[in-house]
């Protein structure tokens, strides 16, 4: 009789959700890289925003799962941890570009639940402070005159988002991207050092990175930001590529997804929580401190946005002669 009562009590507890943590308890954010990078920043922004706004009672745990610029984490969540209702995973625009090129293996953009976009950065084109290239018109003219004398550098290999920014700029200037000279570096810092040393003529990076380099005293000049409109803050005087006659934009969204089998009710708790958190002035301050620009999108709207971006990236990659996901 006792056994029956115990089993009945257990069944009642499970049915009422008492046997497991609620979605916002014992939370975890997976950063799909080593500590210190953009994914780490993304997780820690959510960690601070949720805790400071009292949306969670204990700090969110940040764990690191490097490999394939997000591929290892993506595969792990889809195949091994699909129903975890208290785990979110950071992603970026680079993740979406990799999905478009099939770099996440057999999984595509339809495998996960896209939760929230919480901030964005934008591409930027930089030259040395004493460069004769004063604007994108000068850059286009130099590339057309002799493409071998204009070397682009960036922290990424062929097919990466930094390479893509360079390739799109070359294409907008009327040059076949396959004729573009490109040097890959381990990171943006190395590329900036090479730029100041005269080893490359242009660096394609991020606006936040450019602003931080200028604050640190780097002898560089920002030719253009790849945004729809001029950015606020330290780069407010820098024109967009569009203002200079080149239709090149490169937003770098940062956000989170969850496993494909997370229950609708639990997913909604997360969506509603992020909506509330991102509407607070405290979160806006935290985002600005991390050199990110406003972008707030959740749930179904984010899902549609991600699918549209992956489709666009797939076409871009195809146009550039890169492999794409089928």
pLDDT in tens, the chain (326 residues): 444 444 444 333 444 444 455 789 999 999 998 887 788 889 999 999 999 999 999 999 999 998 877 899 999 999 999 999 999 999 999 899 999 999 898 999 999 999 999 999 999 999 999 999 999 999 999 999 998 899 999 877 888 888 999 999 999 988 888 889 999 886 778 888 999 999 999 999 889 888 888 888 989 999 999 999 999 888 999 999 999 999 999 999 999 999 999 999 999 999 999 999 999 999 999 999 888 999 999 999 999 999 999 999 999 999 888 878 76
The model's pTM is 0.81
Q: Distances in Å between the alpha carbon of 322 and those of 98, 164, 186, 297, 299? A: 11, 11, 21, 30, 31
Which part of the chain has CATH 3.40.190.150?
Answer: 23-120+252-319
> Token pair for residue 279?
């509407």
- 217, 119 contact by CB (below 8 A): no
Of 121, 240, 101, 103, give the one whose Cα is nearest residue 169. Answer: 240
Which part of the chain has CATH 3.40.190.10?
Answer: 122-251
Q: What integer pLDDT is reported at residue 186 of this predicted model?
A: 67
Q: Look at phi and psi of residue 194 and say left if phi exceeds 0, alpha if psi is from -120 to 50, else beta.
A: alpha
Q: What integer pLDDT is reported at residue 21 of this predicted model?
A: 56
CATH topology for the 23-120+252-319 domain? D-Maltodextrin-Binding Protein; domain 2 (3.40.190)
Q: What integer pLDDT is reported at residue 6 of this predicted model?
A: 44
Rg (CA), the chain: 22
Of 83, 30, 23, give the one whose Cα is nearest residue 259. Answer: 83
Instruction: Tell me the CATH architecture of domain 122-251.
Output: 3-Layer(aba) Sandwich (3.40)
């Amino acid at each position: 009789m006792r056994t029956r009562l115990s089993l009945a009590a257990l069944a009642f507890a499970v049915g009422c959700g008492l046997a497991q943590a609620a979605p916002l308890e014992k939370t975890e954010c997976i950063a799909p890289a080593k500590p210190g990078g953009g994914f780490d920043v993304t997780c820690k922004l959510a960690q601070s925003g949720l805790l400071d706004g009292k949306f969670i009672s204990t700090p969110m745990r940040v764990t690191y799962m490097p490999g394939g610029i997000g591929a290892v984490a993506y595969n792990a969540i889809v195949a091994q941890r699909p129903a975890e209702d208290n785990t979110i995973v950071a992603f970026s625009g680079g993740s979406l570009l990799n999905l478009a090129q099939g770099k996440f293996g057999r999984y595509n953009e339809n495998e996960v639940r896209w939760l929230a976009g919480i901030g964005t950065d934008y591409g930027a084109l930089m030259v040395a402070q004493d460069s004769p290239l004063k604007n994108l018109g000068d850059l286009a003219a130099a590339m057309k005159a002799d493409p071998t004398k204009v070397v682009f550098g960036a922290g990424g290999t062929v097919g990466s988002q930094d390479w893509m920014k360079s390739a799109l700029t070359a294409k907008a200037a009327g040059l076949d991207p396959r004729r573009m000279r490109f040097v890959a570096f381990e990171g943006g810092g190395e590329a900036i050092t090479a730029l100041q040393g005269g080893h490359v003529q242009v660096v394609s990076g991020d606006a936040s990175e450019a602003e931080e380099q200028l604050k640190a005293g780097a002898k560089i000049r920002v030719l253009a930001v790849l945004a729809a409109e001029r950015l606020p803050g330290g780069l407010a005087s820098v024109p967009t590529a569009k203002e200079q006659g080149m239709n090149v934009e490169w937003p770098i969204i940062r956000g989170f997804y969850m496993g494909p089998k997370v229950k609708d009710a639990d997913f909604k708790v997360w969506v509603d929580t992020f909506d509330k958190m991102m509407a607070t002035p405290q979160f806006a301050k935290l985002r600005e401190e991390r050199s990110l620009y406003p972008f707030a999108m959740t749930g179904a709207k984010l899902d549609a946005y991600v699918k549209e971006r992956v489709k666009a990236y797939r076409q871009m990659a195809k146009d550039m002669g890169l492999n794409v996901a089928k």
